[in-house]
Each structure stands twice: as structure tokens, then as C-alpha cells.
Amino acid sequence: MPNADCQMPNEKSRVFGFTFGIWQSAFGIHKGDRPKIGVTPDRLIRLAGGDVAKYSSPEDFRFKGLEKKIEDRPDLMVSGSGIPWEDRGSFGFLGAFFKTAFDAMFKPTQLLAKMARPETATDARIFSYAIGGIWFLAVLIQSAFAYFVFYVHDKSVEIDSQQYLFNTLLEGAAAGVAAALMPRVVAWMFYRLTAFDMTSKAPPILVRNIITYLMGASLLALIPGGPKPWLAVGPILTGAWMFITLLTVAISRLRVRPGAAIIGSILTLVGTSAIVVAGILVVFQVWCTLLDKASLTPIVPPTTANQAR
């Protein structure tokens, strides 16, 4: 009697035969032929008894958690429709300046997103010269206010009016030059502090242009007066306003991470204030102490011994 194992295939043989049959049909492998690659996704699904229309696209089977997160990195150098200062021919020099300055104070993000030439420094450089003129006028206004409100009525100082006028003009010229050059210093400082935390890398020229236009807040320096002749409110408001707008624009326009924007803005404000104060003290010491060009001389009250004589 023939062996049953030789006549009846076992369970493993049947499974293997069924699988091999599907493989033959799918890949076009026939007896005596070389393998032919004729498999397609539709053919495999049809062989499995399914319908292609019932299956979703491969994108539906992706695991979102395993996909690499791609940050939103817009091109910060894209040209916009243009800001008023870039269209001085239509607005006029003064009209374009004041409109740009007010927009930089109250709508800085919208203004700076419209720059038509963010890659060039020509327009911003001319704007910085105009800002220098504003600071020249601001020094004249603050000095005149201090003279007529404080010094004229102060019996403890003696005023040399001619020297006071000369010193005021000299201080105004120095303030104007410093204000025109200040955007370069502030931009260099801020860029060094925040460049590594920009989600979209901005070139230094863009940072310099933005900070130059933000100096439109210098119009506040024209506000006269303060509690002390050396403590004017206008320049202090200018620094505070620029800090707020710089922080806002750093996050929205330059795409700096919020934490880095806050730290960078604070350190930039502190560093700039230190430079300004140090510069004022140095000029005062050289001009008034070493060269003896002071316009205000304290009146020393007579002592009791001198009165007795």
C-alpha cells in the first residue's frame, strides 16, 4: 500500500503551493520561463479579492508624528508694494518722512512688510540723515526750554548766554551726527544677539533698514521739558517707544523667537543707553572741564569769615 504521506500533501505543502501560485500569477512566472516583473498595485489588490476604489491613497497611511516638522520659513527679503519714504516723488520729502515716521510708530509691522527695496541701504541711509536733523532740532528745543524755565530763574548759577548758545549748537550737531550713525550700532548689536534665534535668517542689511525706520519715533524727542533741566521727557519716551516697536517687529517681521527677542531688545536698549550716557559724559568732561568752555558757572555763596571781613 502506497504511503499516504507521499500521495496527500500536508498542510504546509498546501499553504506553500497556494502562496507560490499567487506569486506566479502576480509576477508572471511560468514554468520554464524567466521571471517577468509584471506586478502592479492594482493587480495585487485584484488578486487579493479587493477593489482599488475602496482603498485610500498612500498619503492617508502616513504617521503624522513620525514626519519631520517643517517650520514656516518665509522669505524675509520679498519686495512689497513700497513704503511712503521709498515713494518720495509722490508724497514729497516732508510728507513721506512724517507718514513713514508715524507708521513706524503705530503700524511698524505693516509698514516694514511693504518695503520695496529691503536689500538696499540707500533709502534708509537718507532717512537716517533726516532723523539726525530731528535730533538737532530736539537739542535746540530742550536747551531753550531749560534756559527759560530753569536757568534764568536759578540764582545759584551764572549764565554766559553767548557761550550757552554756542554750546547748544555744538551739542545739536553732535546729537544729529550720532543719531544718523546710531542705526548701524543698534543693528549690529541686535543682530549679534538674535541672529541664531531667527527661524528665517535675515541678512544684516534688512535689520539695519528696519531699525533705521523704527527711529521715526525720534519725533517724540521734540516734546520739550522735564522735571530737571538735564532730564527731558522726550528723549526718554523715544527710547521706550523704540524698545516696544523693536520687540514687536523682531517677532513678527524678523521671525525671532519670542524669548530671544525679549532678551535681545532689553540688552540692546541697555547697551545703547550706556553708549549714549558715556558719550555725553566724555564730551562734557572734555569740553567743560579740560577746555573750560562751560556756559553755566555755579555761584559760590560767601562764607561767614569773608562776610566778617
Residues 124 and 83 sit within 8 Å (Cβ to Cβ): no
Tell me how far CA of residue 71 lies from CA of 168, 198, 253, in angstroms: 53, 11, 15
The pLDDT value given to residue 70: 47
Summary mean pLDDT of the chain: 82
Residue 116 has pLDDT above 60, yes or no: yes
Overall average pLDDT of the 101-127 stretch = 94
Strands (E) across the chain are located at 157-159, 296-298
Contacting residues for 234 by C-beta, under 8 A, at least 6 apart: 138, 142, 220, 221, 222, 223, 224, 225, 226
Q: Could you tell me which residue, 221 or 3, shows the higher pLDDT?
A: 221
DSSP state of 297: E
C-alpha cell at 217: 519715533
Average pLDDT over residues 191-204: 90
Q: What is the pLDDT of residue 6?
A: 47
For residues 1-23, average pLDDT: 50
Q: In this predicted structure, what is the pLDDT of residue 305? A: 45
pLDDT band for position 48 (50/70/90)?
low
**pLDDT (average), residues 188-206:** 91
225, 232 Cβ separation under 8 angstroms: yes
**pLDDT at residue 62 greater than cutoff 60:** no
Q: Which residue has the higher pLDDT, 62 or 205?
A: 205
Confidence label for 288 from pLDDT (cuts 50, 70 and 90): confident
Distances (CA, A) of 182 to 45, 62, 188: 70, 52, 10
